[in-house]
Chains A and B, each alone.
Chain A
Amino acid sequence: GQQVMQIPQYQHVQEGEDFTTYCNSSTTLSNIQWYKQRPGGHPVFLIQLVKSGEVKKQKRLTFQFGEAKKNSSLHITATQTTDVGTYFCAGSDYKLSFGAGTTVTVRA
């Protein structure tokens, strides 16, 4: 069945630095979604990508969907303490499958 893998599992970032988290699927996806979960909170939807090669930006966050629609990335520039949390990708063919998440901590 469909599996969505995320790397890295943990990301420790110095405030002000950039980082990228990656999401890979074993099957072609119809769309991919990204969620953020703050410590103690619940996952909150960030964005959905549908088209092959699609790139979307939200302020310091850049999301990309691979040409083959089997991988995606989230790049955060100039990391801030407010970026702390776990970022999940979720891929969809007939149902949404969540990756294990990348947990981000920030050193001030």
Chain B
Amino acid sequence: DAGVIQSPRHEVTEMGQEVTLRCKPISGHNSLFWYRQTMMRGLELLIYFNNNVPIDDSGMPEDRFSAKMPNASFSTLKIQPSEPRDSAVYFCASSFDNYNEQFFGPGTRLTVL
């Protein structure tokens, strides 16, 4: 298995632009997580899905952030409009059920200028 796949690996954009991050979880996993990591705030859970359904989005910072999981093999995290304070590394992780070992993707390093 290729593990969790994220794209792009790096994204540089200008303030106000829309950003879409993509994730392909490990086949067979039914839980998917989006995290944001910064030096100041550490590793923050933004949202997680179980069986493609959003279960807890309490970590989503504001309405500019949205996440979807249209099927078991794909998820997106969208920021519109982006702001410089959104600059961070965004990780996607998947697991079999939401309390088991999580497998992290390599992350997307987002820079908003």
Contact = CB atoms under 8 A, between A and B. Distances in A.
A43 B43 contact: yes
B89 to A, nearest CB: 8
B24 to A, nearest CB: 15
A98 B45 contact: yes
- What size tier do the contact residues of chain A reach? 20 to 34
B105 A45 contact: no
Main secondary structure of the interface of B (DSSP, over half): strand
Interface residues of B, number: 18
A79 B99 CA distance: 30
Main secondary structure of the interface of A (DSSP, over half): strand
Interface of B: 42-43, 45, 48, 55-56, 91, 93, 98-107
Given A90-B102, A95-B55, A95-B98, 4 more contacts: A43-B93, A94-B99, A97-B45, A98-B45
Interface of A: 30-31, 33, 35, 41-45, 48, 88, 90, 92, 94-98, 100-101
